[in-house]
Amino acid sequence: MAHKIANLLNIAEWKLTPYQVLVLSFAGLILVGTLLLMTPLASVTGEGLSFVDALFTATSAVCVTGLTVVNIGTYFSLFGQLVLISLVQVGGLGIMAMTTLMAILIGKRINLKERLLMQEALNQLTVAGVVRLTQYIIKVTLLIEFIGGTFLAIRLYSDLGLKGIYFGYWHAVSSFCNAGFDLFGSITGNFSSAIGYAEDIVVNLIITFLIILGGIGFTVIADVWTNRRFSKFSLHTKVVLFTTLVLIVLGALVIFLLEYDNHGTMANLSWNGKVMASYFQSVTARSAGWNTVDMSNLTDATLFFMIILMFIGASPASTGGGIKTSTACVLVAATWALIRGRSDVELFGRRIPYGIVYKALAVMLISALAVIFVTMMLTITENQEFIRLLFEVISAFSTTGLTTGITTTLTTSGKLWLVFTMFAGRVGPVTLALALALKARKGNLQYPEGKVIIG
Amino acid sequence: MAHKIANLLNIAEWKLTPYQVLVLSFAGLILVGTLLLMTPLASVTGEGLSFVDALFTATSAVCVTGLTVVNIGTYFSLFGQLVLISLVQVGGLGIMAMTTLMAILIGKRINLKERLLMQEALNQLTVAGVVRLTQYIIKVTLLIEFIGGTFLAIRLYSDLGLKGIYFGYWHAVSSFCNAGFDLFGSITGNFSSAIGYAEDIVVNLIITFLIILGGIGFTVIADVWTNRRFSKFSLHTKVVLFTTLVLIVLGALVIFLLEYDNHGTMANLSWNGKVMASYFQSVTARSAGWNTVDMSNLTDATLFFMIILMFIGASPASTGGGIKTSTACVLVAATWALIRGRSDVELFGRRIPYGIVYKALAVMLISALAVIFVTMMLTITENQEFIRLLFEVISAFSTTGLTTGITTTLTTSGKLWLVFTMFAGRVGPVTLALALALKARKGNLQYPEGKVIIG
Ligand SMILES: [K+]
Ligand SMILES: [K+]
C-alpha cells in the first residue's frame, strides 16, 4: 500500500516522465502488432503483409484510427482479425485509462498559476488507487462492449448465423473504441464499411450508441452514472454533453442538406434512411470512422465540413481523437465572450481560467500546424486531389479513419507520413496537454505590460 | 477647436458608431465605383460592364483586393483605368487613415479590464488633431507613391516610352495600396501581371519596396521614421518588423524549394531569377497580389502554403488585409509560452495582456469560420477544384487578389459570394477589432472558476 504509482510504472528507476511512458508503450505495442500482422498466420492467403503495410495497419489499430491499406474482412485470417481487435482493445483502453488518470491528476490541483511537477502529483496516488481506477475503467468498458455486442450479435445472427455473433462482439469493440474497423468487406464488398446497413435502424442505433459512449470520455460517463441530474454534473461534463449534442445535431443537419439529393450517396435512400445516414455520418465523423454512405462520392462541401468535424473530434479521456469537444467549446466561448465585451470566459455559470483558454488555443494551433505540414508533404509525394489528401491527413490525425478511398493508392512515403500522423495525432494532443500542465516554472521576474495592435 | 471628432463624422447626429461609418462609407464608395464602371466611357469597346461585373470590380478596387473578372489593361479605357486607380487610392488611404486613428485611440487607454466607449475616446481628440493626422497620412502616402512611381516610370520609360511614365505612377499607387491591379495585360498578355518582369531586379525591388511599406502599417512607418533605432521602437513596431521579416524570408525559402524545378513556373528562370521570383511571391502573397510566375501552374503544396501566407496577411493600420502579422505573432507567442510552461505571454521583454491574446484568438477564429463558410458555399455553386476555390476565397478575404485563374469562370452567385467576402475581409477584422474594444460592459458579478479538460 505504501508503494507509489511512480514505482509501478518504474518511472523512478527509468527516469521517464509519464508521457514518455505513454509514447513508449504505444510504440512498443505497435511494434508487437506489426510483427504479428507480418506472420503468414495472419492472412487468409498465408502471405505475410509487407513491413510498411503491417506497420500501417498496426499503428492504425493501436491508435484506433481505422485507416487500412488492405481490406480487413477478406485479407486477414481469424487469427489476424483477433490480433487486430486486440490491438484496438488495448490501444483504446490504454489511452482511456492513461488520459483519465491524467485528467484526474491535472484536475486535482495543477493550474497555470500553481503548477506541480507531475511526479509529485503521481506520488499522491497509491498503487491501490491507480489499480482500482484502471480495473474500474476496464470493467465498465467490457460491460458496455458486452451489452452492445450482445444486442448487435442478436441482430446480426438473423443475417449471418453464427458468424453474426462473432461479428456482433467484434464490431462492438471496434465501435466503443472508436476504431472504425469492420469486417463487412467480406459480406458487402471491399471497404464497404456499414453501407449495407444504411437503412437498418437497430444496427445504426447500437453502433452510434457505442461510439458516443466511447467518445464522450470516462470521467463524463462516471459523472453521469453517479450524479444522474444535469445540474449536479461537473462543468466539464456539462460542456462535453452540450457540445457533443450540438455537434451531432448540427452535423446531421448540414450533411443532410448537402447530400440528400446526391445520387452517389443518399438520393436512393428512403426519407428515414437519409435522416439516419446523416445522423450516422455526423456521429462517426468525430473520431469513430464508420460509414454508411460511399465516402468517395461525397460532395466537396460535405468533405470539407466533415474535415472540420473530424478535426474537432471526440471528448477528452475517451477512446476518440481530435482537438476535442471541450477545446472547441472553450475557444468558441472565448471568442463569444470578447464579442460581447466581457473580460471573462463563462460557461454554465463558471469562469474559465485564462490558463485553460491558452491551453485550448495551443492545442488547436499546434494541431493545425501539424496537419498543415503533413498535408503539404503529401501534396508533394502523392498525386491526388488536394481535398482528398487533406481529408486523409485530418482523418489520420484525429484517429477517425474515414477515407475517400485513397489510402490503398498511397506511395510508401505517403503511408509512412500517415503512420507518423496517426501516432502523433493519438499521443500528441494528450502529451501536449499533459506537458503543458507539467512544467512548473514560474518566471521570477514579470515583464511590464506591452500592447500590440490586433486585426 | 472646440469641436469634437464625433461632430465631424456626424456620429452624434446620425447616431452611428464609428464602425458603422466605416462600413457605410466603403459601401457608398463601392456603389459610386460600380456606376462609373458601368458607363460606356469606362471601356475600350464602349460597352458598359454588367452590374455584377462592375460591382465585383469596384468592390475589388475599393477593398484593394485586385481580383478581376475582366482584364484591366485591355478592357478599360483610360477613363476606366483612372476610375479604378482612384477607387484604389481612396479605398487604400481610407482604410489606412481609419485604422491608424482607431489604433491610436485603442492604444491610448482601452484595454479589456477598463473599457471605455469609443465615443468617449473620440471626444478626447479634437477635430484639428484628426485632420492633422489624416493630412499627414495622405502626405506620406503620396510622397512614397511619388518617389516609387518616379523610379518605376524611369525604368518603364525605356521599355514603353511615354506610356511607361503613366504605368510607373499607376502601378506605384496599386503597389503601395497593396491592390495588385496591373495594366501589363495590354503588354504581355491577358492576366499576365508582372510575369514579363520576373527577372527584372529594378522592377522587382521597387514594387516589393512599395508593397512592404504599404503593408507594414502607418504607425510602424511613423515610429521607424521618428525613432530610427530598433531598441527605441514601440513593442508593436518590433513585433511587426520581426514577423514581417521572418515571413518574407521563410516564405521565399519554402516557395523556392517547392517551385524551383517546376516547368510551369520557375524551372526556366535563371538562378537569380528563381531567388527573386520566390522573394517576390513571398512578399506579394501577404496581401499585395502581384505575381511574376504563372499562378495556375503552381503545385498544390505551394498553393496551400500561399493560402496560409495570404490568411496571415499584412500588418495593422495598413493598406493590407488578412488576420495581420501581429495577430499571428501573438498567437504563436501564446502557444510557445504555454509549451515553455509560462503563464505570461512575452514578446521583446514585454508581457502581452490576456485581453490582447483573446482578441488575436477571436480575430483568427472568426476569420477562419468566415472563410470556411464561404468556401463551402462556393463548393456548392462552382464546379472547380477545392484548393482553387479555397485559394480564391482566402485571397478575397485577405484582400490579396491572387488567383489560380478561376475568377473569370465564376457563376454569378460565386461572384456575389466573393464580393461579400472581399467586403467582409476588408472591413470585418478591423471593425471586429474595434467592436471588441468598444463594448464597455464589465460583468458586475464574477462567476467562480470552473475547470474543463483540454486536449
Ligand atoms: K477511428
Ligand atoms: K491586393
pLDDT in tens, B156-173: 888 888 888 888 899 999
Q: Give the C-alpha separation, A148 to A345, whole Å.
A: 39
Chain B residues near residue A429 by CB distance under 8 angstroms: 455
State whether B356 and A327 contact (CB < 8 Å).
Answer: no
For residue A190, what pLDDT is reported? Answer: 65
Most A CBs within 10 A among B363, B385, B453, hence the mutation to make, goes to: B453
Q: Where are the domains of chain B?
A: 14-438
Structure confidence at residue B279 (pLDDT): 93
Pick out chain B residues at pLDDT < 70: 1-19, 103-130, 188-193, 429-455
A53-62, A90-99, A351-360, B188-197: which has the minimum mean pLDDT?
Answer: B188-197
Mean pLDDT of A323-331: 92
Nearest CB among A327, A443, A454 relative to B433 is that of A454
Residue A302: the pLDDT is: 92
CB contact under 8 A, B344 and A316: no
Surface of B (198-237) touching A: CB under 8 A: 217, 219, 235-236
Contact A329, A357 (CB under 8 A): no
Residue-wise pLDDT for A12-21, tens only, equals 455 566 667 7
Which residue in A has a C-alpha nearest to residue B303's C-alpha?
Answer: A376
A239, A300, A353: residue with CB nearest B386: A300
B430 close contact with A: CB closer than 8 A: yes
**Which residues on B lie below 8 Å from A357 (Cβ)?**
358, 361
**Partner A, chain B 177-196, Cβ-Cβ below 8 Å:** none
Q: Which residues contact residue A319 at a Cβ distance below 8 angstroms, ignoring those fewer than 6 apart?
A: A64, A92, A95, A96, A176, A177, A178, A179, A214, A215, A287
Question: Taking Cα atoms as reference points, which of A67, A78, A140 lies closest to residue A321?
Answer: A67
A contacts of B334 (beta carbons < 8 Å): 358, 361-362
Distance CA(A296)–CA(A287), nearest Å, equals 18
Rounded to the nearest whole angstrom, what is the distance from the C-alpha of residue A402 to the centroid of ligand 1?
A: 7
> Helix or strand or coil: residue B450?
coil
State residue B341 phi and psi, 5-degree precision.
Answer: 75, 25
Average pLDDT estimate for A375-390? 91
**Do the beta carbons of residue B439 and residue B110 sit within 8 Å?**
no
The residue-averaged pLDDT of A267-293 equals 88
Residue B76, SS3 per DSSP? strand
Please report residues of B whose CB lies closer than 8 A to that of A352.
449-450, 452
Closest to A61 measured CA to CA, from A95, A36, A86: A86
Express each pLDDT in A247-257 by its tens digit. 999 999 999 99
From B88, B75, B80, select the one nearest B35 (Cα to Cα): B80
pLDDT bucket at A430, cuts 50 / 70 / 90: low
**Whole-number pLDDT of residue B191:** 65
Chain A, 298-337: which have a CB under 8 Å from a chain B CB?
A: 299-301, 303-305, 308, 316-317, 323-324, 326-327, 329-332, 334-335, 337
* A-chain residue closest to B255, CA distance: A376
Task: Using CB atoms within 10 Å of the CB of residue A423, give its burial: 0 to 12 exposed, 13 to 18 middle, 19+ buried.
Answer: buried
Helical H segments across B11-117, by residue range: 11-14, 18-38, 51-62, 72-75, 78-109
Q: What is the model's pLDDT at position B42? A: 86
Confidence of residue A133 (pLDDT cuts 50, 70, 90): confident
Spatial separation of the C-alpha atoms in residues B156 and A422, rounded to whole Å? 54
Q: Judge whether residue A76 has pLDDT over 70.
A: yes
Q: Are A174 and A85 in contact (CB under 8 A)?
A: yes
The C-alpha of A398 sits at a distance from chain B's nearest C-alpha, in angstroms, of 11
Residue B143 one-letter amino acid = L
Instruction: Answer with the residue of higher pLDDT: A348 or A132.
Output: A348
CA distance B390 to chain A (A): 10
- Distance between CA atoms of B359 and B324, rounded to whole angstroms? 12
The beta-carbon neighbor of A335 closest among B339, B362, B450 is B362
With residues binned 3-state (H G I as helix, E B as strand, rest as coil), the percentages for chain B, rounded to 5, are: 70, 0, 30
Q: Minimum mean pLDDT among A271-275, A315-319, B188-192: which range?
A: B188-192
Mean pLDDT calculated for residue range A67-87? 88
Minimum-distance ligand to the CA of B178? 2
For all residues of chain A together, what is the average pLDDT?
Answer: 82
CA angle A441/A442/A445 to nearest 5° reads: 130
Distance from CA of B176 to the nearest CA of A (A): 19
Residue scoring higher pLDDT (A137 or B450): A137
> Is the pLDDT confidence value at A4 over 70?
no
